[in-house]
Chain A
Amino acid sequence: MTVPLAIRHPPALGVPAVTVVHPSGCDAQALWKALATNTTGLSRNELEWCDLPCWIGTVPGADVGLPNALKQWDSRAHRLVWLALQEASFRSAIDGAIGRYGAHRVGLFIGTSTSGIRSTEVAYGVRRSSGQWPPAFSYRHTHSADSLCRFAAEILRLRGPAAAITTACSSSAKVFLAAQRFIRTGLIDAAVVGGSDSLCLSTLHGFASLQLLSEDICRPFDVDRKGISIGEAAGFALLDKAPSKINLVSGGESSDAWHMSTPHPEGVGARQAMVQAITAAGLTPAEIGYVNAHGTGTPANDGSEAAALRDVFGPLGVPVSSTKGLTGHTLGAAGIVEAIVTMLALEHQTLPGSPTLASPDSTLGLDTVLQPRAERIRFAMSNNFGFGGSNCSLVFGTDGVQ
């Protein structure tokens, strides 16, 4: 017998609204269209300020500065936030939550890896050549990790607990579980969770130094995978203590205790996060109908995650895809982008495919979804893992399937 999500213990949290900007467009509909047609949003790097040979994912409109009234906040990461928060239906859902609970009872948790560092990269060059920081440059308003929260709080008129979570590529997955804890302890009734990371020299050259930046488009789980393609994105979800059509059911978090920038070869930490998430949901692995993998496209990450997936679900035990071939690796925003992909999969009862996967690596033992396909799924998982061995798995569910 299926237990409705509203009366499960612990109760699921409703996700009544989402918004996202990504390399394929500026809303969730554009993301779903790209997923449904299995079309990548990546292109060859033609940035004026970075000449690395690689593929990237740029958000349309990210080169345009913020409106004059918000100029002091202008950084590429904040532009992504601004674009994401233009979604009228999302804003109306937030206003509704503020109306129901009060602005102090709605939390704000934003994940990021590099925040607005792109602004400081430019300003640092000016400081080095002229001896002065650019007069208009404000570190506190552009780069400081918490500036993302203060900027978003100002736009959304939120007055509750607000914090940036920054654990590399798991950042904006962990925001869901921080919000869940705050709601469970009664500090808040709802929360806006999300993430933003923009293209910047730091990550492009950083991943190049680790020889993890692929010259080819990224091909997660492909026998010819050679590394990541970096994308930029921002996204937000409203979490509400009242369940809705799509819900956050549970999650798991762990650390690898292994290496700063290389995942545990057997995926011990990843396995622990997935098992925790499934156990906390009161489910068995067989009840998870789809896993949106972290699947970065590096040989080490995909091997590690595949080992963990085989361990938890059995060989070929669950349909899996990585949508990074579509969005690129959006780093600190990967958690929210892929949570939204997972929720869209539940909403549309369709498994996303793998647009850049040509020759699946059979040694990984995964049931990789190549083309989108309709399937009845009640629960789906989203995985995100990052530097520092930081792992987070989220389980989302819907009551709309019997």
Chain B
Amino acid sequence: MSPLSFDLHSAGVLAPGLSCLDDLRAACRSGQLHEAVQPAAAPSPDVLPANERRRASQVVRLTLACIEQALTSSPFEADSLRCVFATDEGTGEICQQMLHALDTSRQMSQLLFSNSVLNAPSGYFSIGYRNRQSATVISVGLESFAAGLVFAATEAWSAGQPVLLVSYDPRMTPPMDELLPITVSTASAWVISAGMGQQLPKLASFSIDVVEAGNIRPTSLPSWIPTAWTGQGSSCAFAALGLLEEQETAELRLRWNELMLHVRRKSDRG
């Protein structure tokens, strides 16, 4: 089949040393990440009504802060975006708190249970931005970003609407981090569209070729991404955004199950 193509219009990034897309691009250029520069703890999301803001968990704050960055330079209204949220475990501290409550008093708070669903961030996004579009949350372990990118591209093509793709991994807390060593929270948000015309402002255009993996090996993550982040799928999204600083037609290979995605930046000259 012919590759899926999409335009990337804007993006948000959050991780230690990365407080925005410009930080990520600078890290790509210099080959270094100033990990010690912590972004402010994910801010309380102003977009939510006061009662919901108080209820927002860390992962909700993380994703909404990242989305807010992406929406700042998006050519689309926030309520027009269909959504694909891609994550691995996806709830972070909530999972541990719920298991602890069940193993001790069995008294679970309403808030804890409501926040325990994997689609809590997409739900709060919908509430905050009065977005009534479809929101799909997928989980494919370390391959969540690769799968999410294809989900977002197929959704953009099929629906003829712009799509917000959010790739994120909230930090796991003890003792769950012994099972899933996600030690820092990482996230990126992408606003993409497909076939909606050349006139819209964009960062770049990409194509995705999906082929049988066979003996093809995935691209190693760039050296500026800390080794500790290789156990979280959302790092792959940082590598993909790094294509913005690469030569035109640069390629990133991402594994998804028995498939290999060839993600290429398309030439600006078409």
The answer to whether A and B assemble together is: yes
Interface residues of A (CB under 8 A from B): 103-104, 113, 120-121, 124-125, 127-128, 133, 139-140, 144-146, 149, 153, 159-168, 174, 178, 180-182, 184-187, 201-202, 205-210, 253-261, 268-269, 272, 386-390
Q: Which residues of B contact A209 (CB under 8 A)?
A: 107-110, 112-113
- Residue B139 is within 8 A (CB to CB) of chain A in the complex: yes
Task: Tell me the complex Cα distance, A387–B122, Å.
Answer: 10
Interface residues of B (CB under 8 A from A): 1-2, 4, 52, 55, 88-90, 98-103, 106-110, 112-120, 122-124, 126-127, 129-141, 143-144, 147, 150-151, 153-155, 157-158, 175, 178-180, 210, 212, 256-259
Task: Tell me the complex Cα distance, A180–B123, Å.
Answer: 23
Tell me, rounded to whole Å, the shortest Cβ–Cβ distance linking B15 to chain A: 22
Partner of A165, one of B99, B132, B136, B256: B136
Pairs across A and B, CB under 8 Å, 19 listed: A121-B102, A144-B88, A144-B180, A161-B210, A166-B119, A167-B137, A168-B118, A178-B136, A180-B158, A181-B155, A182-B154, A185-B158, A202-B113, A205-B101, A205-B106, A253-B136, A255-B123, A261-B113, A388-B117
Q: Which residues of B contact A145 (CB under 8 A)?
A: 90, 118, 139
Q: Are A159 and B123 in contact (CB under 8 A)?
A: no
Q: Which residues of A contact B180 (CB under 8 A)?
A: 139, 144
Give the residue among A165, A167, A186 with the most B Cβ atoms within 10 A: A167
Q: Which residues of A contact B141 (CB under 8 A)?
A: 140, 144, 146
Task: Tell me the complex Cα distance, A257–B55, Å.
Answer: 16
If A104-B212, A121-B103 are given as contacts, then 8 extra A-B residue pairs at C-beta distance below 8 Å, sorted by A number, are A124-B103, A144-B139, A159-B212, A160-B259, A181-B157, A209-B110, A209-B112, A254-B132
Task: Tell me the complex Cα distance, A103–B116, Å.
Answer: 35
Q: Are B257 and A160 in contact (CB under 8 A)?
A: yes
Task: Tell me the complex Cα distance, A168–B175, Å.
Answer: 25
Closest partner residue, chain A, to B153 (CB atom): A185
Closest partner residue, chain A, to B79 (CB atom): A257
Closest partner residue, chain A, to B84 (CB atom): A178
Tell me, rounded to whole Å, the shortest Cβ–Cβ distance linking B47 to chain A: 12
Q: Are A167 and B122 in contact (CB under 8 A)?
A: yes
Tell me, rounded to whole Å, the shortest Cβ–Cβ distance linking A29 to chain B: 32
